Amino acid sequence: MDKLLEKQLQNASLASREMMHVDTAQKNEALKAISQALLNHIDDIIIANEKDLAVAKSNGMSDAMMDRLLLNKERIESIAKDVLKLVDLDDPVGQVIREIHRPNGLLIKQVRVPMGVFGIIYESRPNVTVDIACLCIKSSNVCVLKGGKEAINSNKTLTNIMQNAIKSILPDYTVQLIENNDRAMVTQLITANDYVDVVVPRGGAGLINHVVKNATVPVIETGAGNCHLYIDKDADMKKAIDISVNAKIQRPSVCNAIETILVHKDIANTYLPKMVEAFDGRVEIRGDEITQSIISCHKATEQDYATEYDDYIVAIKVVDSIEEAIAHIYKYSTKHSEAIITENQEAADLFMNSLDSACVYLNASTRFSDGGEFGFGAELGISTQKLHARGPLALLEMTSFQYKVYGNGQVRK
Amino acid sequence: MDKLLEKQLQNASLASREMMHVDTAQKNEALKAISQALLNHIDDIIIANEKDLAVAKSNGMSDAMMDRLLLNKERIESIAKDVLKLVDLDDPVGQVIREIHRPNGLLIKQVRVPMGVFGIIYESRPNVTVDIACLCIKSSNVCVLKGGKEAINSNKTLTNIMQNAIKSILPDYTVQLIENNDRAMVTQLITANDYVDVVVPRGGAGLINHVVKNATVPVIETGAGNCHLYIDKDADMKKAIDISVNAKIQRPSVCNAIETILVHKDIANTYLPKMVEAFDGRVEIRGDEITQSIISCHKATEQDYATEYDDYIVAIKVVDSIEEAIAHIYKYSTKHSEAIITENQEAADLFMNSLDSACVYLNASTRFSDGGEFGFGAELGISTQKLHARGPLALLEMTSFQYKVYGNGQVRK
């Protein structure tokens, strides 16, 4: 392992032991200090960010990507404000999940404890650096961050500001950044089982697949969202249209936006023209043959149904039955979020109880799959795996638990 | 992928969708049918087992290993009885963990759901085949089992008996065995992300490491238990001795037995001779220099402290302080179970709140780290990782959860 990285990970591991003894007040004090320090250093952050933007521009980065990378006064103030929001959230650490009194007198407490060391690998947006570090602090975890190389100057400055702000409040090495942009760093981080407790990749499918394939440290997968909306034959048309528009284009670039709309054949003639009208030319429509016979649109291929566009594009398929819709979702879904629009109780029950996606919706937009919208406060991402965390990966899911067993000399018979 | 394996996994995946609709009564009926079928086919099982034993003998298998492989009438009756015990346990599936009413009228239910398809890889003991299949049934999961090749005839017969017993009660392919002993089957199983939801290796360190290193499917690690007992300077001597004996030799071959005893220097002169007396020659003692100056024993090496003996051997180290004991445990522990013996509240608090092992004990034997002893009923193993399941991996931990969101046309603002 790279010597500097190993030293960082050793320090992180030691810091995680100290974090077990940090209380809520200290953590909140640290969050307030970070928020204030960000506001105090707006100019420094902008200068660092401008360096990244200049490199990005000379490398021919697209405007959309440049916008993701940009930090201005308004955005930094918004980041600082989000940090303060964490102060008011419940501290998950120390919560007693179960208390079991055994006949032999043993008292078993199942208690929430920090996970330990989080290794987080992410891409361009530098605000993520602050978001993640502060979520880790609130949950008594230590983080080792590996951001995108295009944001390295911004990330270094943000990390320095945070480290200085918490210096006298939390253990040293609670927040660390891997500054070396050699790709081997990622591989070493995700196989450092001696030091790292969990790895979370935040980014595109390429990054996530690389981490899942190569990690030996347990991984929480986040983000991939090929989400579906099924318009049942007994759908309320207003709900169907309102939710189609909201779930597709309120913010198409995010993982909880829908990519495919499945339409029951009995309602397709009514729904599809209304949908076209509601999208009002803002969405490229790709449909199967039946769809093409009803509305004017491009042809949808197998590949379309498998694609998370994250864009103003939607795939449409007309289905013979709710069972066909469910089978289609099983075939193509990334198990993130799926919704049914129906007034029929039987259809609703079948849909809600037959899918194994993290979130299933009846008559509501998939855009609600979000820690804030669920009432959990901030989130680290949306987990699409079944182990440990599903859906919003919020503070509660950033903890593990431990059994503390109190006895008085008991031995096993 | 091997064609037959792929077919099995496809069938398992389809069966897992059907298992979402199976109710508690059906599952309990299936368990009773399996229990009865095992009793009805004792002779068939013994005949198959004798084939395995004959092969094992001709391959020069040790007596201890032959005993692990052996199934006789008494053992089969005991397995059948254990299956019946599952009937009385609470069904975890469908339990509502949280019910959240949002200001916008959304009702969010966090509901326990089956994990889906379990891939389980294990070694010689054929009783595991039945234990795991039945735990999976009770938690509405589907299992694909890969047992040791030395037990292949026993496992085939047991699986056939179970499959026939549940044929008219549960979906086909709920329980399947991989009969091909090619080692590539394991690699293919643990990388079959399209079909398998979680992999659990049950066996020695070699098996576990192979799975952790090569799996892309999420893994729950179980079993490795380098457990510690710390005798504090303020220990009650009777508790210290009783628990030392129980934790070391009540059943040394299991993962929750202790391997190392750490003794505070102020109590070593009293404790160590009493320990020797209590072990009464049944345990080989390997101590550091200070230990050797107090009692007659072998020399302990670094390697000893890192070893899970699972045998009548114990490593001893005299420490200067509780902090040194904690540091030693962090260095060598597999994060399974650790215990402190003390009457000193401050020392107890420090130990119980400073270690990140799955189970920590005050004045009780580590041998209690067990689903049955914790009151959870049966278990699939003891998890030593921090993600999802820690400590006893019982029915509750064999489930995932899902957010079911009920709306009335809500869209995100």
Report yes or no: B127 and B71 within 8 Å, Cβ to Cβ: yes
| CA angle at A145 for the pair A142 and A150, rounded to the nearest 5° | 165
What confidence tier does A377 reach under pLDDT thresholds 50, 70, 90? confident
Query: How near does any CA of chain A get to the CA of B216, in Å?
Result: 5
Amino acid in the structure at residue B101: H
- What average pLDDT does the structure give for chain A? 95
Q: What is the pLDDT of residue A125?
A: 86
Closest chain A residue by Cα to residue B200: A387
Q: How far apart are CA B70 and CA B52, in angstroms?
A: 9
Say which DSSP state B383 is in: E
Query: How near does any CA of chain B get to the CA of A379, in Å?
Result: 15
Query: How near does any CA of chain B get to the CA of A153, in Å?
Result: 33
Closest chain B residue by Cα to residue A334: B194
Structure tokens at B293: 């100056």
Other Cβ atoms within 10 Å of B298 Cβ, number: 15
Helices vs strands, H then E, count in chain A? 16, 16
pTM: 0.92
Range scoring the smallest mean pLDDT among A375-389, B25-39, B253-267 = A375-389
**CB-nearest partner of A364 from B362, B365, B405:** B405
Element (H, E) at A239: helix A237-249
Q: Do B374 and A403 touch (CB under 8 A)?
A: yes
Identify the burial level of A101 via C-beta atoms within 10 angstroms of its C-beta, where 0-12 means exposed, 13-18 middle and 19 or more buried.
exposed
Q: What is the pLDDT of residue B193?
A: 92
Size of interface A-B (CB pairs under 8 A): 207
A39: contact with B, CB 8 A cutoff:
no
Q: How far apart are CA A348 and CA B76, in angstroms?
A: 45
Q: What is the pLDDT of residue A179?
A: 96
Q: How far apart are CA A409 and CA B362, in angstroms?
A: 8
Pick from A375, A391, A361: nearest CA to B406 = A361
Q: What is the pLDDT of residue B203?
A: 82
**CB-nearest partner of B100 from A363, A367, A374:** A374
Which is it for the CA torsion B163, B164, B169, B173, positive or negative? Answer: positive
Report yes or no: A216 and A193 within 8 Å, Cβ to Cβ: yes
pLDDT digits (tens, 9 = 90+) for A23-44: 999 999 999 999 999 999 999 9
Q: Which of A352, A402, A413 to mutate to test the interface with B (most CBs of B within 10 A)?
A: A402
Q: How far apart are CA A351 and CA A289, in angstroms?
A: 25
What confidence tier does B140 reach under pLDDT thresholds 50, 70, 90? very high
A242 CB neighbours in chain B (<8 A) are: 409, 411
What confidence tier does A378 reach under pLDDT thresholds 50, 70, 90? confident
Residues 254-313 of chain B whose Cβ lies under 8 A from any Cβ of chain A: none
Q: What is the DSSP string of B196-245?
A: -SEEEEES-HHHHHHHHHH--S-B--B----EEEEE-TT--HHHHHHHHH
Q: How far apart are CA B217 and CA B55, in angstroms?
A: 33
Q: Do B374 and A411 touch (CB under 8 A)?
A: no
Q: Do B409 and A243 touch (CB under 8 A)?
A: yes
Q: Do A412 and B17 touch (CB under 8 A)?
A: no
Query: How near does any CA of chain B get to the CA of A278, in Å?
Result: 15
Q: How far apart are CA B320 and CA B266, in angstroms?
A: 8
B412 CB neighbours in chain A (<8 A) are: 246, 250, 365, 367-368, 373
Q: Going edge to edge, which strands form the sheet with B258-264? A: A96-101, A107-114, A399-410, B359-364, B337-341, B227-231, B258-264, B313-319, B284-287, B298-299
Asked if residue A13 has pLDDT above 80, the reply is yes
Say which DSSP state B150 is in: G
Q: What is the DSSP string of B159-197?
A: HHHHHHHHTTTS-TTSEEE-----THHHHHHTT-TTT-S
Residues 384-413 of chain A whose Cβ lies under 8 A from any Cβ of chain B: 385-388, 390-391, 400-412
A360: contact with B, CB 8 A cutoff:
yes
Q: How far apart are CA A365 and CA A342, in angstroms?
A: 13
Q: What is the DSSP string of A289-307?
A: HHHHHHS--EEP-HHHHT-
pLDDT digits (tens, 9 = 90+) for A144-200: 999 999 999 999 999 999 999 999 999 999 999 999 999 899 999 999 999 999 999
Residues sharing a CB contact under 8 Å with residue B36, sequence separation 6 or more, in sequence order = B80, B165
A147: contact with B, CB 8 A cutoff:
no
Residues 151-210 of chain B whose Cβ lies under 8 A from any Cβ of chain A: 193, 197-198
Pick from B225, B261, B248: nearest CA to B336 = B225
Q: What is the DSSP string of B308-350?
A: ---SSEEEEEEESSHHHHHHHHHHH--SSEEEEE-S-HHHHHH
Q: Do B400 and A408 touch (CB under 8 A)?
A: no
A386 CB neighbours in chain B (<8 A) are: 115-116, 197-198, 218, 400
pLDDT digits (tens, 9 = 90+) for B82-99: 999 999 999 999 999 999
Asked if residue A65 has pLDDT above 80, the reply is yes
The residue to which tokens 């750490």 are assigned: B262
Q: Do B373 and A412 touch (CB under 8 A)?
A: yes
**CB-nearest partner of A102 from B113, B361, B375:** B375
Asked if residue B225 has pLDDT above 80, the reply is yes
A40: contact with B, CB 8 A cutoff:
no
Q: Which of A14, A241, A411 to mutate to test the interface with B (most CBs of B within 10 A)?
A: A411
Report yes or no: B368 and B348 within 8 Å, Cβ to Cβ: no
pLDDT digits (tens, 9 = 90+) for B281-338: 999 999 999 999 999 999 999 999 999 998 999 999 999 999 999 999 999 999 999 9
Average pLDDT for A102-129: 95
**CB-nearest partner of A391 from B359, B388, B403:** B403
Say what the alpha-carbon torsion angle B302, B305, B310, B314 is, to the nearest 10 degrees: 100
Query: How near does any CA of chain B get to the CA of A321, in Å?
Result: 17
A368: contact with B, CB 8 A cutoff:
yes
Query: How near does any CA of chain A get to the CA of B225, in Å?
Result: 15
Report yes or no: A140 and A24 within 8 Å, Cβ to Cβ: no
Q: What is the pLDDT of residue B223?
A: 73
**CB-nearest partner of A113 from B245, B356, B365:** B356
SS3 content of chain B, % helix, strand, coil (to 5): 45, 20, 35
- What is the complex's ipTM, to 2 decimals? 0.93
pLDDT digits (tens, 9 = 90+) for B34-48: 999 999 999 999 999
B354: contact with A, CB 8 A cutoff:
yes
Structure tokens at B361: 């004990």
Q: What is the pLDDT of residue B317?
A: 98
Q: How far apart are CA B279 and CA B241, in angstroms?
A: 9
Beta pairing class for A391-392 and A298-299: unpaired
B330: contact with A, CB 8 A cutoff:
yes
A356 CB neighbours in chain B (<8 A) are: 16-17, 20, 113, 116, 402
A113 CB neighbours in chain B (<8 A) are: 356
B213: contact with A, CB 8 A cutoff:
yes
Other Cβ atoms within 10 Å of B26 Cβ, number: 17
Which is it for the CA torsion B247, B251, B257, B260, positive or negative? Answer: positive
Q: How far apart are CA B375 and CA B394, in angstroms?
A: 10
The residue to which tokens 């008085």 are assigned: A408
Amino acid in the structure at residue B297: C
Q: How far apart are CA A247 and CA A70, in angstroms?
A: 26
- What average pLDDT does the structure give for chain B? 95
Q: How far apart are CA A304 and CA A283, in angstroms?
A: 14
B250: contact with A, CB 8 A cutoff:
yes
Q: How far lies A46's CA from each of A32, A53, A163, B348, in Å?
A: 21, 10, 18, 50
Pick from B197, B154, B152: nearest CA to B178 = B152
Query: How near does any CA of chain A get to the CA of B52, in Å?
Result: 33
Pick from A216, A245, A251, A249: nearest CA to A231 = A245
Pick from A121, A114, A115: nearest CA to A215 = A121
**CB-nearest partner of A388 from B108, B388, B412:** B388
For A409: left if phi > 0, alpha if psi spans -120 to 50, otherwise beta; the answer is left
Closest chain A residue by Cα to residue B331: A194
Asked if residue A223 has pLDDT above 80, the reply is no
B106 CB neighbours in chain A (<8 A) are: 364, 368
pLDDT above 70 coverage of chain A, percent = 100
pLDDT digits (tens, 9 = 90+) for B157-169: 999 999 999 999 9
Closest chain B residue by Cα to residue A256: B412
Q: Residue A213: phi, psi to the nearest 5? A: -70, -35
Q: Do A242 and B409 touch (CB under 8 A)?
A: yes
Q: How far lies B98's CA from each of A55, A110, A366, A380, B161, in Å?
A: 48, 18, 19, 20, 39
Closest chain A residue by Cα to residue B115: A386
